[in-house]
Amino acid sequence: MCASLLPARDRVAADSSIGGGSLARTLLLYRYEYPVDHFIRALKFRGERVYARVLGTLLAHARADLGGELPGVVIPVPLHSERYRRRGFNQAEEIARFAARRLGLEVDSRCLRRRIATREQSGLTVAERRRNVRGAFELRHVPRATRVALVDDVVTTGSTAMAAARTLQNAGISEIELWAAARVEIDP
């Protein structure tokens, strides 16, 4: 499929609705609409990993096109071990691996751990989403770089990503880029 047919969004806008400016950059490629929503659901719920390759490759190309210094390491947003066992894989990690490989970067999937089995975020209000992920992540070890990319499949309010980012910031990580394949556009 030609990438120009995908529901593109303003990829690099200083998206102050996510992190209030505390992120070095946000790279949120597409609106969560057809066919991107189909790709993500097929990956996430049916294990069709070919879509991780497609989305990771598109992320890598978009980041390369931006230029500038690349992060030193790519960190996928982790799943709780219980959800990981049920699903058998972490979709964010799958996407991150393909993006990192294309950019010649290291993936550190063990840096963060989701210590709380939170409820699914879909269907929750913004306030409920923030409460749901508060304290959900812990640092297992400090990454080898102070500039990192945090990768997720979909961002809606940014609550999950920012909870993970705060954990990294508290460990002294100075620059965090947030990369996601899609953004759910929500009305203000």
Q: Where are the domains of the chain?
A: 15-183
Q: Using an 8 Å Cβ cutoff, are 91 and 44 in contact? A: yes
Cα 143 to Cα 117, 133, 154, 166, distances in angstroms: 23, 21, 23, 14
Residue 15 confidence (pLDDT) = 52
CA 28 – CA 25 distance, rounded (Å): 10
Out of 3.30.2010, 1.10.10, 1.10.8, 3.40.50, select the CATH number for domain 15-183: 3.40.50
Residue 14 confidence (pLDDT) = 44
* Residue corresponding to tokens 């096109």: 65
Helix (H, G, I), strand (E, B) or coil at 7: coil
CB atoms within 10 A of CB 92: 28
Tokens of 55: 């989305």
Radius of gyration of the chain (CA): 15
- Relative orientation angle of helices 91-103 and 36-46, to the nearest 10 degrees: 120
* Residue corresponding to tokens 């309010």: 157
CA 159 – CA 180 distance, rounded (Å): 13
Q: Which helix (H) or strand (E) holds 85?
A: helix 81-87
Residue 13 confidence (pLDDT) = 45
Taking only the tens of pLDDT, the chain with its 188 residues reads 466 778 787 655 445 567 777 899 999 999 999 999 999 999 999 999 999 999 999 999 999 999 999 999 999 999 999 999 999 999 999 999 999 999 999 999 999 999 988 767 677 777 777 777 788 899 999 999 999 999 999 998 888 999 999 999 999 998 999 999 999 987 65
Q: Using an 8 Å Cβ cutoff, are 25 and 177 in contact? A: yes
* Residue corresponding to tokens 């992540």: 137
CA 65 – CA 97 distance, rounded (Å): 19
